[in-house]
Amino acid sequence: MNYLRNTWYMAAWSEELAEGALFNRTLLGESILFYRKTDTSVAAISNRCPHRFAPLHMGTLQGDCVRCPYHGLTFDSAGKCSHNPHGDGRIPKAAQVKAYPVIEQHLAVWIWMGDTDKADTSLIPDYAFLSAAKPTARNLGYLHTLSDYQLLTDNIMDLSHVDFLHPDTLGGGALSRVGAKLSELDGNRLGILWEAFDEVAPPAFAPHLPEPQALADVWTDVVWSPPASMYLSTGVAPAGGSDELAVTSANLHVMTPESENTTHYFYANTRSFLQDDIEYNRMLNEMLVGIFAGEDKPIVEAQQRLMGSDDFWSLKPILLAGDAGAVRARRILAGMIEQEQQAD
């Protein structure tokens, strides 16, 4: 499969990488070992020992190095073999695994899958809102999903689906009616603004407004960054009222391909209201799992099954108003991949 290589992919939530533990995740078809060094910074190296192809994540962490479980070759975080316990102990030149540029930022771990010398950390989207949020007003989630990652991107890029798939929580009927304003941003990014006035507030927000039954203004501002990161700024306010009365929520949805038809789906939610309410936070977490794992994931996985191994465009999808953002994102990404491959 053709992936964009020279880009940062989200590999994990920070909390998934415990100190002293070896963590394995396959990204873009490559099995990768993640672990924290003694200074707690994250290392990412190929998980496949070059000796006998045993998985290093089943081995032992020794300081900043990892020892292969099978015959004991030890590798450092740069992927170099630092110890060979066999015979005279000489280290073969080829005893080396790939090391990936990796950085932890705002509660997430990002990895660069392309040419190491092009890895520029300033290219990672700035999601400082995540680390800035109070823990009691923040929920992070992860879903392993049996679909191509672009189907999951499409799902977020066309939020009109909330009216049909999530009518009891996020939907209100407004988004599919009003449509969205698409804009091109710098850095190959896209903006999509969904905005509606004098509408019924979505069920998940209504109870937190001064007058839950009253008409409201609702909006979601989406920023897509290639290859598959989406930031959503959502708000609901009394119709025509002051923004001071708005309840708002900042969200992240990031898709990282595991293989051609399987995806690591990361999502996050923060909010402006009830920020110290631990019990509400827990209930909201359950609601988010219900929505993303219970409603989105089954539909997208069923979509993938019905598409089989056919290419998306070869099936000639009918395009509706809400598809503009998703289609534009697919085209930008395809262009970037093509450009990258021609440069090679």
Binding site for a second copy (CB under 8 A): 31, 47-48, 50-55, 58, 67-73, 84-88, 92, 94-95, 154, 158, 160-161, 163-165, 176-177, 179, 298-299, 302-303, 306-307, 315-322
Instruction: Compare residues 180 and 236 and give the one whose CB is closer to a second copy.
Output: 180
Instruction: Compare residues 125 and 172 and give the one whose CB is closer to a second copy.
Output: 172
| Minimum CB–partner distance for residue 128 and a second copy (Å) | 33
- Give me the phi and psi of 96, to 5 degrees please: -160, 140
Q: Which two tokens stand for residue 136?
A: 């009691």
Q: Which residues does 44 contact at the CB level (< 8 Å), separation at least 6?
A: 11, 32, 33, 34, 99, 100, 101, 102, 111
Q: Which residues does 285 contact at the CB level (< 8 Å), separation at least 6?
A: 139, 141
Instruction: Compare residues 62 and 339 and give the one whose CB is closer to a second copy.
Output: 62
Instruction: Compare residues 107 and 165 and give the one whose CB is closer to a second copy.
Output: 165
| Minimum CB–partner distance for residue 193 and a second copy (Å) | 15
Question: Collapsing DSSP states into helix, strand and coil, what is residue 243?
Answer: helix
| Minimum CB–partner distance for residue 149 and a second copy (Å) | 15
Residue 22: its H or E element: strand 22-27
| Minimum CB–partner distance for residue 18 and a second copy (Å) | 21
Cross-strand pairs, 111: 9, 102
Evaluate the CA torsion angle 221, 186, 265, 10 in order and state its sign: negative
| Minimum CB–partner distance for residue 272 and a second copy (Å) | 29
Instruction: Compare residues 31 and 248 and give the one whose CB is closer to a second copy.
Output: 31
